[in-house]
Structure 1
Amino acid sequence: MIARRVVMSLTLSIALILPALTSANDANAVPAAPEEGGPRNWQVTGVAGGLNLREAPSISAAIVDRYAAGTLLDNLGCQTSEGRSWCDVQQLGGGPRGYVAADYLTPAISPDGTPATGPDDSALRAGQGEFDATGSLPCSMMGGQPTTRCEFGVARSGGGYATVVIDKPDGRSRAVYFRMGRAIGAGTSEADPGEFRAERIDDLNVIHVGEERYEIPDAVVLGG
């Protein structure tokens, strides 16, 4: 069963958050990584024809992908090379990893209206049974099976980052991971496999893992 230890989220003071949210194109400093209090995600901005993703932090490095304005990226750390800042990134939800010029990045605003900063500890806390909320949600374990209710616990780390752990009727549990309010994957194993799929219906996240189906409202992920 889901452990009923519910913990309160800590809110960082504005004074601590603001230094980490300077625009990535600040020429006087290398943008901070999440481990240093920086944003977890970037949004591509200020490009018309697309932003090149390169194999290395250099304008001469091979181009491996191109991002349109508005694309959300994971912040994997930044560095200085050739007199400018470059950031190690990967598109939110997966894709090739590489470097982009920091001049065209800005901290991404999450669905709750804030830029998510600092490390994401939701999976760690969920694994330790430290949940911000518990309850039940609609679920079914096989196609065509009537919907029932499964207990869950959710650990949140702000900005739409959350890990939802769901108790299955067979005594096992299924973890579903959210980033920026989007379902990006689920915990599986050789003994408990299943292909992950997610779709949105209004404010509901419908999660499929193999034949399993879970309905997770935005309110579970974002709080409120």
Structure 2
Amino acid sequence: MQGDAGGPDWYVVQGVSAGDRLNVRAGPSTDKAILGQVGNGVQLRNLGCQGRGQARWCQVESPDGRLRGWVSASFIAEGAAPNTAQAPQQRPPQPAGDVPELFRRTTGEFEINYASGCGMLFNPAGKLITAGSSCTPAQSVRAAEAVAAYRLEQGL
């Protein structure tokens, strides 16, 4: 993805007129298809922004990973991760060998770690959010398979 990956991890929707909803679009433009709509107070994961001023758009994702698209940055502000009131997370132990170690965060996300230091993050729907630069394609495949197997076993 192109754009500015910096900024907060989470946004919250704000400034949408009462009774209205913010359009989540297929691309960074009002010309792009509407994929869904969200209201004030909804938390969205930051996947990166592009543009400046009134033309700034951010790619976002719902906490459950089912809605992913672009919103006008005029209607979002820095927010906190969902479920932050739950018990603090502990880092999973590093696995032995080249076996993916799966850890489910309190937000529903899946963290995969390898002994080599490679790490990946998947959303609750099982889609890759980010991968460390040291991850190999084979590790990415094994990580995705581990997440898919866990989701199947848990009926997610």
| TM-score above 0.5 | yes
1:77-156 equivalent positions in 2, closer than 5 A: 77-80=48-51, 83-110=54-81, 111=84, 154-155=90-91
Taking the aligned partners of 2:146 and 2:5, their CA distance within structure 1 comes to: 36
Residues 176 and 108 of structure 1: CA distance in aligned 2, closer, same or farther (over 3 Å): same
Aligned pairs, number:
112
Matched, 1:69 2:40: yes
For residue 8 of structure 2, the aligned residue among 39, 43, 52 is 39
C-alpha distance after superposition, 1:161-200 (max 9, x if no partner): xxx3598xxxx8852232xx4122365675897443xxxx
Matched, 1:184 2:109: yes
Structure exhibiting the larger radius of gyration computed from Cα positions: 1
Taking the aligned partners of 1:59 and 1:103, their CA distance within structure 2 comes to: 13
Greater share of strand residues, 1 or 2? Answer: 1
Q: Give the letter aligned to residue 43 of structure 1.
A: V
Q: Give the letter aligned to residue 110 of structure 2.
A: G
- Structure 2 counterpart of 1:122: none
- Structure 2 counterpart of 1:175: 102
Greater share of helix residues, 1 or 2? Answer: 2
- Structure 1 counterpart of 2:136: none
Residues 53 and 81 of structure 1: CA distance in aligned 2, closer, same or farther (over 3 Å): farther
Check the 8 A contact 1:42/1:108 in 2, yes or no: yes
C-alpha distance after superposition, 1:146-169 (max 9, x if no partner): xxxxxxxx32xxxxxxxx3598xx
Taking the aligned partners of 1:72 and 1:63, their CA distance within structure 2 comes to: 18
Q: Give the letter aligned to residue 182 of structure 1.
A: T
Q: Give the unaligned 5+ runs of structure 2.
A: 113-142
- Structure 1 counterpart of 2:134: none
Taking the aligned partners of 1:43 and 1:68, their CA distance within structure 2 comes to: 10
Check the 8 A contact 1:33/1:40 in 2, yes or no: no
TM-score, length-normalised on structure 2? Answer: 0.55
1:181-220 equivalent positions in 2, closer than 5 A: 181-185=106-110, 194-196=149-151, 210=153
Check the 8 A contact 1:46/1:104 in 2, yes or no: yes
Secondary structure of the structure 2 residue equivalent to 1:183: coil
Q: Which portions of structure 1, spanning 4 or more consecutive aligned residues, are displaced by more than 6 angstroms?
A: none
Q: Give the unaligned 5+ runs of structure 1.
A: 1-30, 113-132, 134-153, 156-163, 197-208, 212-224
Secondary structure of the structure 1 residue equivalent to 2:32: coil
Q: Give the letter aligned to residue 109 of structure 1.
A: A
Secondary structure of the structure 2 residue equivalent to 1:182: coil
Taking the aligned partners of 2:77 and 2:148, their CA distance within structure 1 comes to: 37
Taking the aligned partners of 2:110 and 2:47, their CA distance within structure 1 comes to: 19
C-alpha distance after superposition, 1:38-65 (max 9, x if no partner): 1011111122321101112111211111
Taking the aligned partners of 2:48 and 2:146, their CA distance within structure 1 comes to: 35
